[in-house]
Structure 1
Amino acid sequence: MPITALQFMENDVAAIIGPQSSVLAHVVTHIVNELQVPLLSFAATDPTLSSLQYPFFVRITQSDVFQMAAIAELVDYFQWREVIAIFIDDDYGRNGVATLNEKLTERRSKIFFKAALGPEANVTNISDLLIKVALMECRVIILHANPDIGRIVLSAAYRLDMTINGYAWIATDWLPSLLDSYGPLDSETMDTMQGVLSLRQHTPNTQRKRDLVLRWRELIGGDNGGDFRLNSYGLYAYDSVWMIAHALDAFFDDGGAIIFSNDSRLQDANGGTLDLKAIRLFDGGSPLLNKVRSTSFDGVTGPVQLDSDGNLIHPAYDILNIVGTGSRSIGYWSNYSGLSIESPETLYLNPPNRSNQILYDVIWPGQTTQKPRGWAFPNNGRELRIGVPYRVSYPEFVSKEKGSDTMKGYCLDVFFAAINLLQYPITYRLIPFGNGFENPNYTELVEKVVSKDFDAAVGDITIVTGRTKEVDFTQPFIESGLVILTSVKERDSNAWAFLQPFTWAMWAVTATFFLFIGSVIWILEHRINDEFRGPPKKQLVTIFCKDPIGYQVGSFTETYLTQELNISSSRLKVLHNPSEYATSLELGPDKGGVAAVIDEHPYVELFLSTNCKFAIVGSEFTKTGWGFAFPLDSPLAVDMSTAILKLSENGDLQRIHDKWLMRSSCSSDSMEIESNRLQLNSFWGLYAICGGACFLALLIYFIIIICQFHRHFAEQEPETPEEGSSKSGSSRSGRILQSFLSFADDKQGSTRSKSNRGQMEQSARTNDVDFVS
Structure 2
Amino acid sequence: MGSVADLCINISFSDFYSEHPNYQTRLQLHTKNAESLLEADFAVLDLLNHEEVHGILGPQTATEDKFLSELGGKVHVPVISFTARSSTLPHAQNRYFVRTTPDDMYQAQALADICQGYKWSEVVILYEDTEYGNQFLSHLNKAFQEIEIGIAYTSAISIASEDSQISKELKKLMAKQTRVFLVHMNPSLGYRLFFLAKKAGMMSEGYAWIITDYLSNFLNSMDFVARDSMEGVLGIRPYVSKSKDLDSFQERWKRNMVLKKRTGLVRDLNIYGLWLYDTIHSLAIAAEMIGPVNSSLLYVNTSKNGSDNTNLKISAFGPRLLSQLSRTKFRGLSGEFQLINGQLKPSAFEIFNVFGTGEKTVGFWTLDTGISGELISTGEPTHSTSTKNLKSVMWPGDSFTRPKGWAIPATGVLRVGVPEKHGFTEFVNVKLIDAATNRTNATGFSIDIFLAALDLLPFHINYEFYQYNDSNNPNFSYDDMLKGIPQTYDIVVGDTTIWAPRASHVDFSLPYSEPGVVLVVKNKKPFDMWIFVKPLRWDLWLAIIVACILMGIVLRILEHRVPNTNEESVGPDRERLRMTYWSPITVLAFPERNMVASTWSIFVLVFWLFMAFILMQSYTANLSAILTVDQLKFAFSEDYYVGYQEGSFMKIFLQEQLHINESRLISYSSVEAYHDAMTRGSKRGGIDAIFDEIPYMKIFLKKYDSQYKMVGPTYKTDGFGFAFPVGSPLTATFSKAILAVTQGPNMTSFEQKHFGPGYSSQDPLSSTISQRTSSLTFYDFGGLFIIVVSVTMFALFFSETSVGRKFTSLTAQYCQKCSCFISSKVHSTQNDAKDIRGTVPEAGATSSEGGEASVFAEPPSGSGEEICDPGQNNEGASAEDQEVIIENTEERNSISQN
Instruction: Determine the structure 1 residue equivalent to 2:508.
Output: 473
What is the distance in 2 between the residues matched to 1:451 and 1:263? Answer: 71
Instruction: Write the letter of the residue equivalent to 1:197.
Output: L
- Given candidates 144, 153, 157, the residue that maps to 2:193 is 153
Instruction: Check the 8 A contact 1:389/1:434 in 2, yes or no.
Output: no
Per the TM alignment, residue 100 of structure 1 is displaced from its structure 2 partner at its CA by 2.4
Instruction: Write the letter of the residue equivalent to 1:626.
Output: F
Residue-by-residue CA offset, 1:267-302 (whole Å, 9 max, x unaligned): 997xxxxxxx7x853522542354145323122244
Residue-by-residue CA offset, 1:321-365 (whole Å, 9 max, x unaligned): 33342221323041x45444464x847x636x4476555345122
Give me the CA root mean square deviation: 6.4
Instruction: Write the letter of the residue equivalent to 1:88.
Output: E
* Structure 2 SS opposite 1:242: helix
Instruction: Determine the structure 2 residue equivalent to 1:627.
Output: 721
* Structure 2 SS opposite 1:633: coil
- Given candidates 300, 320, 345, the residue that maps to 2:352 is 320
Per the TM alignment, residue 167 of structure 1 is displaced from its structure 2 partner at its CA by 1.0
- Given candidates 267, 288, 296, the residue that maps to 1:249 is 288
Instruction: Determine the structure 2 residue equivalent to 1:307.
Output: 340
Per the TM alignment, residue 145 of structure 1 is displaced from its structure 2 partner at its CA by 1.6
**TM-score, length-normalised on structure 2?**
0.54
Instruction: Write the letter of the residue equivalent to 1:115.
Output: S
- Given candidates 99, 115, 119, the residue that maps to 1:75 is 115
What is the distance in 1 between the residues matched to 2:454 and 2:223? Answer: 43
- Given candidates 313, 328, 343, the residue that maps to 1:281 is 313
Instruction: Determine the structure 2 residue equivalent to 1:374.
Output: 405
Per the TM alignment, residue 189 of structure 1 is displaced from its structure 2 partner at its CA by 4.4
Mapping for residues 36-185 of structure 1, pairs under 5 Å: 36-48=76-88, 51=91, 54-120=94-160, 126-179=166-219
Percent identical pairs in the alignment equals 25
* Structure 1 SS opposite 2:407: coil
Residue-by-residue CA offset, 1:685-723 (whole Å, 9 max, x unaligned): 99xx9xxxxxxxxxxxxxxxxxxxxxxxxxxxxxxxxxx
Alignment pair present for 1:460 and 2:495: yes
Instruction: Determine the structure 2 residue equivalent to 1:771.
Output: none
- Given candidates 621, 637, 644, the residue that maps to 1:552 is 644
- Given candidates 358, 363, 373, the residue that maps to 1:330 is 363
Alignment pair present for 1:210 and 2:301: no
Per the TM alignment, residue 229 of structure 1 is displaced from its structure 2 partner at its CA by 5.9
Instruction: Determine the structure 2 residue equivalent to 1:240.
Output: 279
Per the TM alignment, residue 428 of structure 1 is displaced from its structure 2 partner at its CA by 10
Instruction: Determine the structure 1 residue equivalent to 2:228.
Output: 191
Per the TM alignment, residue 319 of structure 1 is displaced from its structure 2 partner at its CA by 2.4
* Structure 2 SS opposite 1:154: helix
Instruction: Determine the structure 2 residue equivalent to 1:581.
Output: 674
Instruction: Check the 8 A contact 1:36/1:56 in 2, yes or no.
Output: yes
Alignment pair present for 1:360 and 2:389: yes
Inter-CA distance 91–674: structure 2 relative to 1 (3 Å threshold): closer
What is the distance in 2 between the residues matched to 1:408 and 1:221? Answer: 67
Residue-by-residue CA offset, 1:704-748 (whole Å, 9 max, x unaligned): xxxxxxxxxxxxxxxxxxxxxxxxxxxxxxxxxxxxxxxxxxxxx
What is the distance in 2 between the residues matched to 1:580 and 1:428? Answer: 28
Per the TM alignment, residue 555 of structure 1 is displaced from its structure 2 partner at its CA by 4.6
What is the distance in 2 between the residues matched to 1:286 and 1:449? Answer: 67
- Given candidates 258, 266, 272, the residue that maps to 2:298 is 258
Instruction: Check the 8 A contact 2:231/2:396 in 1, yes or no.
Output: yes
What is the distance in 2 between the residues matched to 1:384 and 1:391? Answer: 22
What is the distance in 1 between the residues matched to 2:407 and 2:772? Answer: 57
* Structure 2 SS opposite 1:634: coil
Instruction: Determine the structure 1 residue equivalent to 2:380.
Output: 350
Instruction: Check the 8 A contact 2:108/2:143 in 1, yes or no.
Output: yes
What is the distance in 1 between the residues matched to 2:172 and 2:504? Answer: 31
* Structure 1 SS opposite 2:276: helix
Residue-by-residue CA offset, 1:196-240 (whole Å, 9 max, x unaligned): 22221245x4xxx72421331453478998996653323322221
Inter-CA distance 472–357: structure 2 relative to 1 (3 Å threshold): same
Instruction: Check the 8 A contact 1:391/1:436 in 2, yes or no.
Output: no
What is the distance in 1 between the residues matched to 2:308 and 2:679? Answer: 103
Inter-CA distance 488–262: structure 2 relative to 1 (3 Å threshold): closer
Inter-CA distance 562–259: structure 2 relative to 1 (3 Å threshold): same
Per the TM alignment, residue 48 of structure 1 is displaced from its structure 2 partner at its CA by 2.8
Per the TM alignment, residue 60 of structure 1 is displaced from its structure 2 partner at its CA by 0.7
Per the TM alignment, residue 464 of structure 1 is displaced from its structure 2 partner at its CA by 6.1
Per the TM alignment, residue 439 of structure 1 is displaced from its structure 2 partner at its CA by 6.3
Instruction: Write the letter of the residue equivalent to 1:192.
Output: S
Return 5+ residue gaps in structure 2 as ranges.
Answer: 1-33, 260-265, 537-587, 589-598, 758-769, 789-898
Residue-by-residue CA offset, 1:658-681 (whole Å, 9 max, x unaligned): 99999xxxxxxxxx99999999xx
Return 5+ residue gaps in structure 1 as ranges.
Answer: 270-276, 506-517, 519-525, 663-671, 690-773
Per the TM alignment, residue 177 of structure 1 is displaced from its structure 2 partner at its CA by 1.9
Mapping for residues 607-622 of structure 1, pairs under 5 Å: none
Alignment pair present for 1:298 and 2:330: yes
What is the distance in 2 between the residues matched to 1:167 and 1:448? Answer: 29
Instruction: Write the letter of the residue equivalent to 2:270.
Output: N
Per the TM alignment, residue 86 of structure 1 is displaced from its structure 2 partner at its CA by 2.4
Q: Which moved more, 1:590-599 or 1:110-119?
A: 590-599
What is the distance in 2 between the residues matched to 1:88 and 1:246? Answer: 37
Residue-by-residue CA offset, 1:234-269 (whole Å, 9 max, x unaligned): 332222123222332343479894348767589997
Inter-CA distance 147–221: structure 2 relative to 1 (3 Å threshold): closer
What is the distance in 2 between the residues matched to 1:561 and 1:504? Answer: 38
**TM-score, length-normalised on structure 1?**
0.62
Mapping for residues 417-456 of structure 1, pairs under 5 Å: 436-437=473-474, 440=477
Mapping for residues 581-660 of structure 1, pairs under 5 Å: 581-587=674-680, 597=690, 599-600=692-693, 603=696, 626-637=720-731
Per the TM alignment, residue 101 of structure 1 is displaced from its structure 2 partner at its CA by 3.2
Larger Rg: 2
Inter-CA distance 479–533: structure 2 relative to 1 (3 Å threshold): closer
What is the distance in 2 between the residues matched to 1:96 and 1:433? Answer: 52
* Structure 1 SS opposite 2:203: coil
* Structure 2 SS opposite 1:43: coil
Instruction: Check the 8 A contact 2:418/2:442 in 1, yes or no.
Output: no
Instruction: Write the letter of the residue equivalent to 1:460.
Output: D
